[in-house]
Amino acid sequence: MPNPIIRIHDITTDEVIDREMSADEFKQYEADQAKNAAEQAAAEALAAAAATQKAALLARLGITADEAKLLIG
């Protein structure tokens, strides 16, 4: 499978060059994709944990989310 294509656009000359990524660029691309996926998964896990904590707090207080919003502001 060929490596992804890189598009380089020189705005001063309006020249556009499409080329295949080098092996090093492709390795970095893959590493960046893995890092982004891990960061996204961590952010989703934090959001899920926060939602669980919020639901638990509302249950302990015996109020709904709408009632909590009324109390806050």
Q: Taking the alpha carbons of 60, 65, 67, 70 in that order, is the dihedral positive or negative?
A: positive
**C-alpha closest to that of 55 among 46, 64, 47:** 64
**Total domain count for the chain?**
1
Has this prediction a pTM greater than 0.85?
A: no
pLDDT in tens, 53-62: 999 999 999 9
d(CA 57, CA 70): 16
The pair of three-digit structure tokens given for residue 61, joined into one six-digit string: 């207080």
> Which range of residues forms the domain containing residue 57?
5-72
pLDDT in tens, 22-46: 999 999 999 999 999 999 999 999 9
